Amino acid sequence: MSKIYGIIKERRKTLGLTQKVVSEKLSIPQSHFSKIESGLSDTRMSTIVDICRVLELEMTLVPNNKIRVVRALMEDSYARMDKPAWVPDEEA
Amino acid sequence: MSKIYGIIKERRKTLGLTQKVVSEKLSIPQSHFSKIESGLSDTRMSTIVDICRVLELEMTLVPNNKIRVVRALMEDSYARMDKPAWVPDEEA
DNA sequence: TTAAATTATATATAAAAACATATATACATT
DNA sequence: AATGTATATATGTTTTTATATATAATTTAA
């Protein structure tokens, strides 16, 4: 579970957001967000989903035999990319 | 978020487990698990992680621009597969 | 079609923790 | 030095959870 919080922290930093900014978007105190991000609060699912929304992440559940593939897919991928992975050809 | 609960239910059925069995592995009442699985309880992160452990799933967070790839990867993949995706060559 | 099994829903008391609200500051990083 | 994060404190509310049980409703098996 610490991986989840690690992802949140990494992503937040990658997006260049401070805890203060994120907490404002979530309308919660910075102190509360700090505890969530560090795993010191066993927070609700809905709170994590809200955090994901702010950080442009989506939560999912992966079968154990696929997790390594999924992780490899996402290596260095918490950086925001404004372009989709696939760009359609332009039609003349 | 309803997708998460949908995955849990699908996976549980794929593994052929009843709510009763899963709830026993989790040491919680079946009635409580029913509410969690149906999204009627905004449960804690740790509870979902425990459920994932029983169902051989792992929670992760995916950047929005990768979610479609990840989902495609996992299509029809909530079935348990006893073999890893990659099998090492045997050494003579 | 019926019976059995499973799931959803209800009820109750009580404890625990998250959360809301607020603020401050120690500590760490830039 | 300024900024960001972690930690502390306080009161009060809400929800989850624990514990227990029952049964209505639905699904599955026979």
Residue A77: what pLDDT? 65
Tell me which chain A residue has its CA closest to the CA of residue B6: A61
Q: Is residue A87 part of a domain?
A: no
Q: In terms of residue numbers, what domain contains B70?
A: 2-74
Say if B65 falls within a structural domain. Answer: yes
CATH number at residue A55: 1.10.260.40
Distance CA A62, CA B8 (A): 10
Q: Which residues of chain B are within 8 Å of residue A57 when distances are taken between CB atoms?
A: 61-64
Residue B76 falls in which region: left (phi positive, over 0), alpha (psi -120 to 50) or beta: left
For A25-58, how does the pLDDT look when each residue is reduced to its tens digit (9 = 90+)? 999 999 999 999 999 999 999 999 999 999 999 9
Chain D: nucleotides below 7 Å from protein CB are 3-9, 15-22
Residue type, A90: E
Q: Do A42 and B45 touch (CB under 8 A)?
A: yes
ipTM: 0.85
Compare all CA atoms of chain A with the CA of B50 and give the residue at the minimum distance: A1
Residue B63 forms part of a structural domain: yes
Does some domain include residue B85? no
Judge whether B45 lies within some domain: yes
User: SS3 for A86?
Assistant: coil
Write out pLDDT tens, residues B23-75.
Answer: 999 999 999 999 999 999 999 999 999 999 999 999 999 999 999 999 998 87
Which chain A residues are closer than 8 Å to B58 by Cβ?
Answer: 61-64, 67
* The nucleotide closest to B42 (CA, C1' atoms): D16
Q: Is A28 inside any structural domain?
A: yes
Element (H, E) at A61: strand A57-63
Locus of tokens 């390594």: A68
Q: Is A82 part of a structural domain of the chain?
A: no
Q: Which residue in the set B1, B61, B65 is minimally distant from A85, CB to CB? A: B65
Number of structural domains found in chain A:
1
| B25-34: long-range contacts, CB 8 A cutoff, minimum separation 24 | B25/B54, B26/B50, B26/B51, B26/B54
Q: How far apart are CA B62 and CA A20, in angstroms?
A: 23
**Does residue A90 fall inside a structural domain?**
no
State the alpha helices, DSSP H only, in chain A: 2-14, 19-26, 30-37, 45-54, 67-74
